[in-house]
C-alpha cells in the first residue's frame, strides 16, 4: 500500500534530483532519440507513477487495475527527470505555459484495498454465460480476459452514488416523437428473404431447438 | 485540386471550372494510388461515375441540388448502403448487401454527393486503432509524408507506419489522403474524433439526437451518433446543416426548434468563455499535447476570450462506466446476429443453439466475443445492480458535471482529443484491444455519456511529424456555436496541408497544387 506521506518525500527527492542532474542530462538529451513511442509510453508510465502515486488506468500489459508498488525512487527519478526535461524543452520552445492548463495529472489513484475482492470465473459461470450469450469463451485466455474486464469494472465501486437516479438516456427530459399508427411501407418480403442463406417459401429455416433435437427419433 | 475544401470545389463545379466526372475520376485514381493505406473495403467505381454524370448534367443546367452536388464522399462500412456490401469489417456480414440506405447516406445522395466507397474500421466499431478488421489494419496517410519519413530512423515505411486511430480509421484516412472530401464515421466513445485527431482532419461528433441513426448498425444505442469528417470546419458545418433533423425512422432524433444550418456571420471571440477541465490532464498525456493545449488556451486569452479552469470531478471514472455500459448494450445489440435472417450462417444444423453458437463463433472476432460475454456478465441478475445500474448512476453524475459547468457561464470546453500523436502499429498491438480502448478513449467518451457535441480540430504537427488535435466540447444542440469557435481556432492555427514523401506522389501534389491555385483564383 502506497503511503501518502512517502509520496511527498519521493516528490521532494526527485525534484532535487532534477536540479542536480539537469545540467548533466541536457548534454545527453541532445544525442538521444525520444521519439520512440515505446520509450515514451514507458517514460510517461513512470512519470505517471511518480506524479500520482499509481495510475488508475492499466499501465502494465494486460492488467485491469494497476498494481500499487513503490517504484525505486533512484531509477524512477532518472527516467522521470528525462520526461520532465522533455516537457520543459518543448514548452520552452513555444510560448510560456498557460496557468489555466494543469501541468500535472490530476487523477486520484485507486488503491487495491478500496476494491471488492477479485472475481474468479467458475466453470459453472462459464457454462451459464456461454448459454446466455451463445458465444463461447474459446479457451482459458477468454476467461482471463473476462476476469480482467470485471476487475476493471470493479473500480465503479469507489464512487458514491447514494440517492442518484440511474440514467437510461440523455434525452430523458424530452417527449419523443411518435408518428401516426399507419402503415407507410412494407411488402418487401421477397427482398428480405433473399438476404438469408436458408429459406423455404416465406419462411426462414432454423434447425429444431436442443431439447426437440434430443427427442428426435 | 483534391486538397481543396468542399466550399472551394463546390464553387468550381458550379462555375463550370471543373466537371463532376473529372473530379470523381481523380478521386478514384487517388484511391487506387493509396490502396496500401487499406482505407477502403469497397470502392463503388461504377456507381460513383454514374452519380457524377448525373451531377454533371444538373450542374451544366445550372440546377445543382445544393453545396454538396458532385462532391465525392465515403462512408464507414457500418452504415447500410443499398445493394452495396456492408460488412462492419466482420465475417458475420461478409457478402451482406442491405436493401436500404441509412438515412444520413440517403440525405447525402439526395444532395447529389458522389459515393466513392465504404471505408475500413475496427470490427463492429469496437476498437481505437482500426487494427481489428478482417480486412487488415488501416494505415495513417501521415506515415508516408515528408514530415514523418524525414525524421524516422527506419528506411522502410512498411515497418514503422502509424495507426489511423479508431474505429472510423478508414474514413479519416480517406479524407486525410485526399481520396474524399468528406466521410461519415460513427462515434460511440470517440470513434470519429480519435482517428480525426491522429490523421489531422476535422472530426465532428454532433449532439445525440441531432442526426438519425437509422441504418447505422448499432453498437450502443444510447451513445452512438453518426460522425462527420472533413478537412475544414466550414465543411463540417455544411454537412451538418444537410444531415441534421428529425427522422421518422429514428424515434431518438429530436426536432430542435430554430436550429442553425450554417455558421453565424457575426461572431466575436471576446464573447466566448472557454473552460479548461483540470481532470483532462490524465496520466499518460504527452508533453507535446500538453504544450499545444496550453498554447491554444493562451491564444484564446490573447484574443480577448475568457479562459478559466473548471472541474468535472467524475471524469476519471467515466472510462470504467463507459466500459460497463458499452459491453452491456453490445451484448444486447449483437444478439441479432444468429445466422437466420442475414449474414454468415454456419454449416452446423444439429440444433438452433448449436447453429447460433457456431455462427457467432465463426462470425465474430475475439474482441466482439469478449465484449458480449462481459456484457452478459454485467447484466446477470446477481450483478445487475452492482455493475449496470451503478454505471448508469455514474453516467448521471458525469452528465451533471457537464451541465453544471455550462450553467456557470462556460460556452465551450477545450481539452486534448488523444493522449499523444499516432503510435506505430508495431507498438500499438503490444496491448490488447480493451486495454488500448481504455487508454485511448479517456478524453472522448465522457462526451458520449452526456450526449454533447464535440469536435476535434487539427492543431499542430508533433516532433515526429504527425498530427496533434485538440477537442472542443459544446452544449447540447449548440453544435453550430461550438463549430464557430472551432472555425476561429482553425483560422488562427494554420495546420499544414499533407505532403507525401514519395517523388511520384510529390509530382502529383505539385500538379494538383497548381490546379488548386487556378481553382481558387
Per-residue tens of pLDDT for chain A, all 217 residues:
333 344 444 444 333 444 444 444 444 433 443 344 444 444 333 333 333 333 334 333 333 333 333 333 333 334 433 334 344 444 444 446 788 999 999 998 889 899 999 999 998 999 899 999 999 887 888 889 999 999 999 999 999 999 999 999 999 998 888 888 999 988 999 999 999 999 999 999 999 987 654 544 4
Q: Which of B351, B370, B393 is the last residue of a domain?
A: B393
Residue B440 located in a structural domain: yes
**Dist. CA B357–CA B360, nearest whole Å:** 5
B506 part of a folded domain = yes
Is residue A95 in some structural domain? no
> Which of B393, B424, B440 corresponds to the end of one domain?
B393
Domain presence at residue B201: yes
- Report how far residue B361's alpha carbon sits from residue A18's, in angstroms, rounded to the nearest whole number: 54
Residue recorded with cell 454485467: B378
Q: Which of A61, A71, A156 to mutate to test the interface with B (most CBs of B within 10 A)?
A: A156
Q: By the 8 A CB rule, do B168 and B122 touch? A: no
Is A148 part of any domain?
Answer: yes
For A41-70, write each residue's pLDDT tens digit. Answer: 443 333 333 333 333 343 333 333 333 333
Find out whether B73 and B184 touch, Cβ atoms under 8 Å.
yes
Tell me if chain B has a CB within 8 Å of the CB of A12. Answer: no
Contact of B466 with chain A, judged by CB distance below 8 Å, is answered with no
CB A161 to CB B432 under 8 A?
Answer: no
Round to whole Å and give the CA distance between B516 and A43. Answer: 43
Asked whether the beta carbons of B441 and B194 are under 8 A apart, the reply is: yes
Q: Which domain holds residue B425?
A: 6-249+268-278+399-516
**Hey, is the C-beta of B325 within 8 angstroms of any chain A C-beta?**
no
Partnered with residue B40 across adjacent β-strands are B119
A191 touches chain B (CB under 8 A): yes
Pairwise pLDDT comparison (A1 vs B96), residue with the higher score = B96
Is position A143 within any domain?
yes
Locate the DSSP E strands across B52-95. Answer: 72-76
Residue the block writes with cell 499535447? B289
Closest CA to B455 of B465, B443, B463: B443
d(CA B433, CA B408): 38
Whether the CB-CB separation of B42 and B84 falls below 8 Å is answered with yes
Q: Does A51 reach chain B within 8 Å, measured CB to CB?
A: yes
Residue B346 lies in a domain: yes
Per-residue pLDDT tens for B17-47?
999 999 999 999 999 999 999 999 999 999 9
- Is B133's pLDDT higher than 80? yes
pTM of the model: 0.85
Q: Is residue A56 domain-resident?
A: no
Average of per-residue pLDDT across B423-437? 91
Q: Per the CB < 8 Å rule, is B252 touching A176? A: yes
Beta bridge partners of B119: B40, B76
The side-by-side arrangement of strands in the sheet containing B202-205 is B40-43, B114-119, B72-76, B182-187, B225-230, B202-205, B454-461, B467-473, B412-416, B273-277, B306-310
Say yes or no for a CB contact (<8 Å) between A171 and B424: no
Task: Examine the domain organization and report whether B420 and B353 are in the same domain.
Answer: no
Same-domain pairing of B442 and B478: yes
Domain membership flag for residue B293: no
ipTM score for this prediction: 0.90
Residues of chain B found within 8 Å of residue A90, distances taken between Cβ atoms: 287-288, 291, 463
Which of B279, B331, B399 is closest, CB to CB, to A167?
A: B399
Count of structural domains, chain B: 2
Contact A156 B288 (CB under 8 A): no
The dihedral through the CA atoms of B329, B331, B335, B336 has a sign that is positive
Burial of A18 (0-12, 13-18, 19+ CB in 10 A): middle
Neighboring chain A residues of B377 at a CB cutoff of 8 Å = 125, 129, 146, 149-150
User: Among B442, B429, B438, B445, which residue's Cα sits nearest to residue B133?
Assistant: B429
pLDDT band at residue B503 under the 50/70/90 scheme: low
Q: For residues B325 and B450, is the Cβ–Cβ distance under 8 A?
A: no
Closest CB from B285, B324, B335 relative to A153: B324
Q: Which residues are B228's β-sheet partners? A: B184, B204
Mean confidence (pLDDT) of chain B: 93
In a domain, B320, yes or no: yes
Residue B171 and residue B148: Cα distance in Å, rounded? 21
- From chain A, pick out residues whose CB is under 8 angstroms from the CB of B342: 195-196
Q: Is B399 on the interface with A (CB under 8 A)?
A: yes
Q: Which three cell numbers stand for residue B507?
A: 509530382
Is position A205 within any domain? no
pLDDT tens-digit map of B146-198: 889 888 877 787 888 999 998 999 999 999 999 999 999 999 999 999 999 99
Site from B377, B387, B421, B492 to mutate, A interface, most A CB atoms within 10 angstroms: B377
Looking at the structure, tell me whether residues B65 and B109 fall in a common domain.
yes
Which run of H or E residues covers position B454? strand B454-461
Judged by CB atoms closer than 8 Å, whether chains meet at A157 and B321 is answered as no
Say which range, A5-9, B223-227, B472-476, has the weakest mean pLDDT: A5-9
- pLDDT value at position B67? 95
Shared-domain flag, residues B233 and B132? yes
Question: End of a domain among B355, B372, B393?
Answer: B393
Test B297 with A98 for CB contact under 8 angstroms: yes
Closest CA relative to residue B127, chosen from B423, B370, B444, B434: B434
Domain holding A139, by residue range, is: 111-159
| CA dist., res. B372 & res. B366, Å (int) | 10
Collect all residues with Cβ–Cβ distance below 8 Å to B331 and sequence separation of at least 6.
A133, B371, B372, B373, B374, B375, B376, B378, B379
Residue B214 sits in the same domain as residue B70? yes
- The number of CA neighbours under 13 Å toward the Cβ of B380 is 17
A35 CB neighbours in chain B (<8 A) are: 151, 463-464
Q: Is B349 on the interface with A (CB under 8 A)?
A: yes
Confidence of residue B2 (pLDDT cuts 50, 70, 90): confident
Instruction: Name the 3-class secondary structure at B455.
Output: strand
Would you say residue A134 lies in a domain?
yes
Decide if A60 touches B, using CB distance below 8 A. Answer: no
Catalytic (active-site) positions of B:
76, 167, 191
- Domain with residue B187: its CATH number is 3.90.1300.10
Contact A11, A50 (CB under 8 A): yes
Q: Which residues contact B125 (CB under 8 A, 6 or more apart)?
A: B76, B78, B88, B167, B168, B186, B188, B191, B219
Amino acid at each position: 500500500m502506497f503511503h501518502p506521506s512517502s509520496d511527498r518525500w519521493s516528490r521532494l527527492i526527485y525534484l532535487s534530483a532534477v536540479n542536480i542532474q539537469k545540467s548533466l542530462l541536457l548534454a545527453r538529451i541532445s544525442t538521444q532519440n525520444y521519439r520512440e513511442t515505446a520509450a515514451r509510453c514507458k517514460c510517461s508510465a513512470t512519470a505517471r507513477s511518480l506524479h500520482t502515486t499509481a495510475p488508475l488506468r492499466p499501465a502494465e500489459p494486460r492488467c485491469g487495475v494497476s498494481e500499487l508498488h513503490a517504484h525505486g525512487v533512484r531509477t524512477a527519478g532518472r527516467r522521470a527527470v528525462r520526461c520532465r526535461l522533455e516537457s520543459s524543452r518543448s514548452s520552452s520552445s513555444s510560448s510560456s505555459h498557460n496557468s489555466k492548463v494543469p501541468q500535472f495529472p490530476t487523477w486520484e489513484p485507486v488503491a487495491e484495498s478500496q476494491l471488492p475482492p477479485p472475481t474468479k470465473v467458475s466453470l459453472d459461470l462459464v457454462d451459464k454465460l456461454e448459454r446466455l450469450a451463445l458465444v463461447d469463451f474459446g479457451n482459458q485466455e477468454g476467461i482471463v480476459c473476462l476476469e480482467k474486464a470485471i476487475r476493471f469494472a470493479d473500480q465503479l465501486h469507489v464512487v458514491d452514488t447514494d440517492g442518484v437516479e440511474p440514467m437510461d438516456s440523455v434525452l430523458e427530459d424530452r417527449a419523443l416523437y411518435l408518428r401516426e399508427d399507419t402503415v407507410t411501407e412494407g411488402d418487401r418480403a421477397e427482398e428480405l428473404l433473399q438476404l438469408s442463406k436458408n429459406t423455404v417459401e416465406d419462411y426462414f429455416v432454423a434447425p429444431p431447438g436442443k431439447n426437440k433435437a434430443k427427442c428426435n427419433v | 485540386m483534391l486538397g481543396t475544401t468542399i466550399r472551394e470545389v463546390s464553387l468550381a463545379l458550379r462555375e463550370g471550372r471543373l466537371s463532376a466526372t473529372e473530379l470523381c475520376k481523380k478521386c478514384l485514381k487517388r484511391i487506387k494510388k493509396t490502396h496500401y493505406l487499406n482505407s477502403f473495403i469497397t470502392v463503388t467505381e461504377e456507381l460513383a461515375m454514374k452519380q457524377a454524370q448525373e451531377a454533371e448534367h444538373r450542374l451544366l443546367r445550372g440546377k445543382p441540388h445544393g453545396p454538396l452536388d458532385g462532391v465525392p464522399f465515403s462512408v464507414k462500412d457500418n452504415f447500410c448502403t443499398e445493394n452495396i456490401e456492408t460488412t462492419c469489417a466482420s465475417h458475420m456480414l461478409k457478402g451482406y448487401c442491405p436493401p436500404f440506405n441509412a438515412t444520413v447516406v440517403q440525405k447525402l445522395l439526395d444532395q447529389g454527393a458522389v459515393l466513392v466507397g465504404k471505408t475500413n474500421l475496427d470490427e463492429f466499431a469496437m476498437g481505437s486503432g482500426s487494427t481489428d478488421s478482417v480486412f487488415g489494419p488501416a494505415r495513417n496517410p501521415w506515415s508516408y509524408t515528408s514530415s514523418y519519413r524525414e525524421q524516422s530512423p527506419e528506411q522502410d515505411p512498411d515497418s514503422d507506419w502509424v495507426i489511423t486511430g479508431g474505429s472510423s480509421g478508414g474514413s479519416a484516412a480517406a479524407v486525410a489522403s485526399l481520396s474524399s472530401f468528406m466521410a461519415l464515421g460513427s462515434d460511440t466513445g470517440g470513434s470519429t474524433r480519435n482517428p480525426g485527431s491522429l490523421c489531422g482532419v476535422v472530426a465532428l461528433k454532433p449532439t445525440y439526437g441531432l442526426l438519425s441513426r437509422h441504418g447505422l448498425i448499432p453498437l450502443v444505442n444510447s451513445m452512438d451518433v453518426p460522425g462527420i469528417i472533413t478537412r475544414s470546419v466550414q465543411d463540417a458545418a455544411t454537412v451538418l446543416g444537410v444531415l441534421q433533423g428529425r427522422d421518422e425512422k429514428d424515434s431518438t432524433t429530436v426536432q430542435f426548434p430554430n436550429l442553425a444550418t450554417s455558421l453565424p456571420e457575426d461572431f466575436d471571440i471576446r464573447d466566448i468563455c472557454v473552460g479548461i477541465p483540470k481532470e483532462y490532464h490524465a496520466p499518460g498525456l504527452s508533453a507535446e499535447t500538453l504544450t499545444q493545449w496550453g498554447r491554444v488556451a493562451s491564444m484564446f486569452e490573447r484574443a480577448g476570450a475568457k479562459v478559466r479552469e473548471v472541474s468535472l470531478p467524475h471524469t476519471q471514472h467515466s472510462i470504467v462506466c463507459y466500459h460497463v455500459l458499452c459491453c452491456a448494450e453490445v451484448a444486447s445489440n449483437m444478439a441479432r446476429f444468429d445466422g437466420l435472417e442475414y449474414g454468415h450462417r454456419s454449416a452446423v444444423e444439429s440444433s438452433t443453439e448449436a447453429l447460433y453458437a457456431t455462427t457467432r463463433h465463426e462470425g465474430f472476432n475475439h474482441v466482439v466475443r469478449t465484449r458480449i460475454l462481459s456484457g452478459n456478465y454485467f447484466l446477470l441478475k446477481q450483478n445487475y445492480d452492482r455493475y449496470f445500474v451503478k454505471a448508469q448512476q455514474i453516467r448521471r453524475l458525469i452528465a451533471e458535471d457537464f451541465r453544471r459547468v455550462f450553467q456557470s457561464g462556460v460556452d465551450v470546453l477545450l481539452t486534448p482529443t488523444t493522449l499523444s500523436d499516432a503510435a506505430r502499429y508495431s507498438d500499438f498491438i503490444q496491448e490488447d484491444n480493451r486495454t488500448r480502448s481504455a487508454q485511448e478513449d479517456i478524453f472522448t467518451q465522457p462526451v458520449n455519456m452526456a450526449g454533447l457535441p464535440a469536435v476535434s480540430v487539427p492543431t499542430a504537427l508533433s516532433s515526429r511529424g504527425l498530427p496533434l488535435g485538440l477537442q472542443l466540447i459544446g452544449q447540447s444542440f449548440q453544435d453550430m456555436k461550438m463549430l464557430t469557435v472551432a472555425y476561429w481556432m482553425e483560422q488562427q492555427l494554420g495546420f499544414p496541408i499533407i505532403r507525401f514523401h514519395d517523388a511520384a506522389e510529390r509530382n502529383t501534389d505539385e500538379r494538383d497544387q497548381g490546379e488548386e491555385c487556378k481553382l481558387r483564383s
